[in-house]
Amino acid sequence: MSSKPAANNEMVRKNSKDKISVNQVLQQADSFISTDEVFSSVTEWQEMMTKYNCAIREIRTKFEVLNDELSIRSNRNPIHGIYSRIKSPRSIIEKLHRKGLDLTMDNIRSEIHDIAGVRVICDFADDIYEIADMLLMQDDIKLITYKDYIRAPKANGYRSYHMIVETPVFFSDGKEMMKVEVQLRTIAMDFWASLEHELRYKKGLDKETLAEISADLLNCANTIADVDNQMMGIKDKLYPKFPDADE
């Protein structure tokens, strides 16, 4: 999922209601597939995107319910925000192209696992693991894969917890299992990721400047991680998991 600051508006948008037009698909796919193939696939494409939007609503609702419950049990909301997005047609096409795969609906469904994305922003790092565990404990959620970039950050300093999960969605003609990518971050991690994406991919930078920016961003990521840990320590003093018996 994109980390660009302007992506928040795009992430909460309902793409199935955008009614992806034939022209849009043609413009984004004309270098890979023929016009006849595009026209024959537009309706199926829209139906598929609608299904992914429904899967997003299922996952968002689960997180919203957990947040409401925990706000009563813990006297605070561990989830700061929930955002969602559908991968753009161009991104889907380019990803298949990089994999050396033909643009078919079957390949999209089976090979692209992050078409539907939900990003959950938590206040503290330990909230991330608790919320992820609570989601996976639900009997209609199946974990496909996960990557923990918090305990093992990327080389550039990126930190986040990623999961691909599968959830059932019920339609008029039956149930379908849909995959959704879930990213969980703290506010600080999300702040860094958003700015890193904007700064790193700014056009026109020479190699030396880009190397300096990369080093600065890595230092900032490490500093932010230290601040996250300090803030978590303060939270534990205010909301101890095992309060003294006489309190």
Residues with catalytic annotation? 181
Instruction: List, in sequence order, every residue forming a beta bridge with 143; answer none if it has no partner.
Output: 165
What tokens were used for 65? 């319910």
The continuous run of DSSP H or E covering 181 comes out as strand 174-186
CA trace torsion 220, 225, 231, 234 (10° rounding): -130
Rg (the chain; Cα; Å):
20
Q: Give DSSP secondary structure letters for 88-104.
A: -HHHHHHHHHHTT----
d(C-alpha 58, C-alpha 202), whole Å: 35
β-strand pairing of 79-86 with 161-171: unpaired
Q: Which of 163, 135, 139, 141 has the alpha carbon at shortest distance from 150?
A: 163
CB under 8 Å to 6, separation ≥6 — which residues?
none
Cα separation, 54 vs 14, whole angstroms? 10
Q: What is the largest CA-CA distance in the chain?
A: 74
**Other Cβ atoms within 10 Å of 242 Cβ, number:** 5
